[in-house]
């Protein structure tokens, strides 16, 4: 979709004629990617039952032995099976014995050495809890480079709050966008808030973008987006049809 030059000489002679059009088209392509509805959230599916994991993290468990996130249903089914057969507790996925806390830490380090983005992000969380924002940033960055949407969201939070890095609105938005593209509904909701707060009420361009973000987030199960869409519907910023469709999708998520 962008201009391709046949040689360096062609680039030098003609780039100025196409530069503005190329920049405009690049923005359009970026928006096409940004506003595409993800099929699922960033959490993905339970690797056992293949049902999408819920946004509520209390309804799933992360096992350090294999870095798999198991839904509460499969977790409970495994517990019941072990209890009935008087078996030792094991991971529902890889069947390794359930590790102690010290073993969890060692397992996580092994997974990090194997370039596991889930383990890297988890280590970032542990460092953040300790107040070691620099190391949290390092682990989040590595996980994000490997495509972990949650790590992108955590990086956005660090740039927003200035923890371990200088506050940087541009980098915050950059990571929010990458997280949103990866299916992160809360990053998507935050982008909608940014657009709404920066709206020029003479043309409503940013408000329209905010509504798009909130509809996508609502379709992924974000409660806060539904609340804001309800307000938008009340003041006419979103149509009855779009609000009804978002409500149905949110209930089904």
Q: Residue 7: pLDDT band by 50, 70, 90 thresholds?
A: confident
Segment 115-122 mean pLDDT? 97
**Helix runs in the chain, H state only:** 8-34, 72-84, 101-113, 117-129, 133-145, 149-161, 169-181, 185-197, 205-219, 223-234, 240-252
- Looking at residue 2, its pLDDT comes to 58
Q: What is the mean pLDDT of residues 110-129?
A: 97
- Tokens representing 72? 């509460």
Residue bearing the bigger pLDDT, 243 or 6:
243
Q: How far apart are CA 95 and CA 247, in angstroms?
A: 40
Residues 9-37 have pLDDT tens digits of 766 777 677 777 778 888 888 999 999 99
Cα 23 to its chain centre, rounded Å, is 27
Q: Are 74 and 46 in contact (CB under 8 A)?
A: yes
- What percentage of the chain has pLDDT greater than the value 70? 95
For residues 198-218, average pLDDT:
87
Q: What is the pLDDT of residues 59-82, one digit of tens each?
A: 999 999 999 999 999 999 999 999
pLDDT, average across residues 142-166: 97
pLDDT at site 59: 96
How high is the mean pLDDT of the chain? 93
Mean pLDDT of 216-226: 97
More confident of the two residues 28 and 130: 130
Backbone angles phi, psi at 141, to 5 degrees: -65, -45
User: Is the pLDDT assigned to residue 1 strictly greater than 60?
Assistant: no
């Amino acid at each position: 979709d962008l201009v391709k030059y046949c040689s360096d000489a062609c680039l030098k002679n003609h780039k100025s004629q196409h530069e503005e059009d190329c920049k405009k088209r690049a923005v359009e392509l970026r928006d096409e990617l940004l506003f595409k509805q993800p099929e699922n959230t960033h959490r993905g599916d339970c690797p056992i039952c293949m049902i999408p994991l819920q946004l509520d993290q209390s309804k799933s468990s992360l096992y350090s032995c294999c870095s798999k996130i198991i839904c509460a249903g499969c977790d409970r089914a495994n517990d019941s099976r072990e209890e009935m057969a008087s078996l030792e507790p094991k991971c529902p996925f890889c069947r390794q014995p359930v590790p102690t806390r010290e073993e969890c830490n060692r397992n996580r380090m092994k997974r990090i050495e194997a370039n596991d983005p889930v383990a890297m992000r988890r280590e970032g969380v542990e460092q953040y809890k300790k107040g070691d924002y620099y190391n949290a940033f390092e682990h989040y960055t590595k996980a994000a480079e490997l495509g972990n949407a949650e790590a992108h969201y955590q990086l956005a939070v660090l740039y927003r709050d200035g923890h371990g890095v200088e506050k940087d609105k541009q980098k915050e938005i950059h990571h929010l966008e990458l997280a949103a593209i990866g299916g992160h509904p809360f990053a998507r909701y935050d982008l909608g808030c940014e657009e709404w707060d920066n709206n020029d009420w003479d043309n409503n361009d940013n408000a329209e973008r905010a509504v798009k973000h909130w509809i996508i987030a609502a379709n992924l199960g974000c409660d806060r987006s539904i609340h804001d869409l309800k307000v938008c519907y009340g003041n006419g910023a979103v149509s009855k049809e779009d609000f009804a469709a978002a409500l149905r999708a949110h209930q089904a998520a």
